[in-house]
Amino acid sequence: MNLVSDIQSVDYDGLIPNNVGLGGDVRVKRALERWHPGYINWWQDMGPEGFQESLVYLRTAVSVDPKGWAKFDYVQMPKYRWGILLAPQVKDRKIPFGAHRGEDAWQEVPGEYRAMLRRLIVIQGDTEPASVEQQRHLGKTAPSLYDMRNLFQVNVEEGRHLWAMVYLLQKYFGTDGREEAEALLQRRSGDADTPRMLGAFNEKTPDWLSFFMFTYFTDRDGKMQLEALAQSGFDPLSRTCRFMLTEEAHHMFVGETGVTRVIQRTCEAMKEAGIDNPFEKEAVRKLGVIDLPTLQKKANLHFSLTLDLFGNEISTNAANAFHAGLKGRYREERLDDDHKLQSGTYPVLRLVDGQIRNEDTPALSALNMRLRDDYVADCNVGVGRWNKVIREFGIPFEIKLPHVAFHRHIGEFSDVHADVDGNILGDAEWEKRQGDYLPSADDKAFIESLMQAQYEPGQFASWIAPPKVGIDNKPGDFEYVKIA
């Protein structure tokens, strides 16, 4: 890559760490400094409950150089240095897709697309504080200090991602950008009057298995959406998202390894007890571990909720954003076509006369569907790794992602009920069987009963195996959080 600037190291001198030369941009610096107290108030009110005074072993970005941008140290979360970090500018970057393909990337907001761009940035920004709010009570039931530290790392970085979007709003969108930045601190996940913007971000994250599933499935939507926005012809958005993706990778690592460790512990306990049948639910539960069918139900829930975040399969909004050069496709540069989608079709799963059918649809209208397909393929990679662990224990069970028509609230299948294989069910049948597919009250109560905090360094709750290696190569009994 041909980089135009070498401002990769971060200026930590002012209130707001940054690599965007904030010191020389008095208007934006002041706007962000004015926004800062409201942010800290929000963090104190809605951030991790009960641990604001604790010292947490966190990584902070000190440069955006891919090799070694992180520095680890103990910090109290409200004193974490949230900052504005953009990936380096690529010299002579061109708009890679849409009607303006081949023109110079925009360094300022293109007037004709201002509203559309602002909407994308606001929606992206809204998800970040939402997830912190959803997870705020989890510290109290952390299965280990290692896991607690990972939770808090994810939380502070979601806070930083909010800063990333707020910077774009404050710098490029004037008064209405400022108002949107304020509103991002006002909405609340799950609030009846002022909810967060997208459905999945108003759901509860009631327990740690949900947290791992959320970071596996929902943070992966974050990855896909950020990849699509990283293609943007609006260069500051592209650079912002490119750096956010490096942080996002850790969040998905937390999810994937978290679920792996739950599976591992369950399989170990089953083997020790001589149980081979994964469906002997009560016998497995007596061992203090989570039975695999219940784990499958949690996966069904979080996967289906996350599919809704891709919007409608056929979308004029998505077509307009692509045509305008604002939001591209996953790995646009690797795709071999005109990058304008003036012709061509894409197969979309649709509900036709009560049947699920593949229909060829103009490719430009099917961009949400396409991104969702890329997402499902990406999800399946980690699911394959989970199944490998189960196979190694010789237990006859396979985790499968449910059909995309299952348990949907947005898009083609939102008006029907389908089972996990995509068979359409009548209302009565769905009522009868939904407990087979989604966590029942009994499943939830059982998982909740396991959520006992384990705060001894090096100790882990009964239902989860220790990680293979520590964070920053620390030893197994490292005190990742010094609880105050």
**Which residues of this chain interact with ligand BYC, rule CB under 6 A?**
120, 123-124, 127-128, 131, 158, 198-199, 218-219, 221-222, 225, 308-312, 315, 317-318, 327, 368, 410
CB nearer ligand BYC, residue 40 or residue 123: 123
What does the block give as tokens for 313?
């399969």
CB nearer ligand BYC, residue 296 or residue 306: 306
Smallest gap from residue 248 Cβ to ligand BYC (A): 8
Rounded to 10 deg, the angle between the 219-230 and 235-272 helix axes is 160
Phi, psi of 13 (to 5 degrees): -75, -40
CB nearer ligand BYC, residue 19 or residue 306: 306
C-alpha dist (Å) from residue 300 to 323, 387, 445: 34, 15, 18
Smallest gap from residue 344 Cβ to ligand BYC (A): 19
Smallest gap from residue 442 Cβ to ligand BYC (A): 28
Smallest gap from residue 316 Cβ to ligand BYC (A): 6
Smallest gap from residue 304 Cβ to ligand BYC (A): 12
Rounded to an integer, what is the distance from CA 57 to the centroid of its chain? 22
Neighbour count for residue 375 (Cβ, 10 Å) = 23
b/e code 86-95 from CB counts within 10 Å (16+ = b): bbbbbeebeb
C-alpha dist (Å) from residue 181 to 36, 128, 130, 445: 11, 13, 14, 38
Q: Do residues 86 and 239 make contact, with C-beta atoms less than 8 angstroms apart?
A: yes
Q: Helices in 80-207 by DSSP H: which ranges?
A: 114-134, 145-172, 174-186
CB nearer ligand BYC, residue 317 or residue 387: 317
CB nearer ligand BYC, residue 205 or residue 264: 205
Smallest gap from residue 118 Cβ to ligand BYC (A): 11
Pairwise CA distance, residues 208 & 450, whole Å: 10
CB nearer ligand BYC, residue 221 or residue 443: 221
Pairwise CA distance, residues 171 & 20, whole Å: 11
Smallest gap from residue 165 Cβ to ligand BYC (A): 10
How is residue 80 annotated by DSSP?
-
Residue nearest to ligand BYC according to CB distances in the complex: 311
CB nearer ligand BYC, residue 326 or residue 389: 326
3-state secondary structure at position 364: coil
CB nearer ligand BYC, residue 302 or residue 417: 302
Smallest gap from residue 5 Cβ to ligand BYC (A): 26
Phi, psi of 362 (to 5 degrees): -50, 130
Smallest gap from residue 77 Cβ to ligand BYC (A): 17
Smallest gap from residue 151 Cβ to ligand BYC (A): 12
Length of the chain equals: 484
Q: Do residues 305 and 218 make contact, with C-beta atoms less than 8 angstroms apart?
A: yes
3-state secondary structure at position 198: coil
Smallest gap from residue 221 Cβ to ligand BYC (A): 5
Pairwise CA distance, residues 49 & 3, whole Å: 42
Beta bridge partners of 366: none
Pairwise CA distance, residues 162 & 156, whole Å: 10
CB nearer ligand BYC, residue 22 or residue 326: 326
CB nearer ligand BYC, residue 243 or residue 460: 243
**Which region holds residue 407: left if phi is over 0, alpha if psi is between -120 and 50, else beta?**
left
Query: In one letter, which amino acid is 75?
Result: V
CB nearer ligand BYC, residue 309 or residue 447: 309
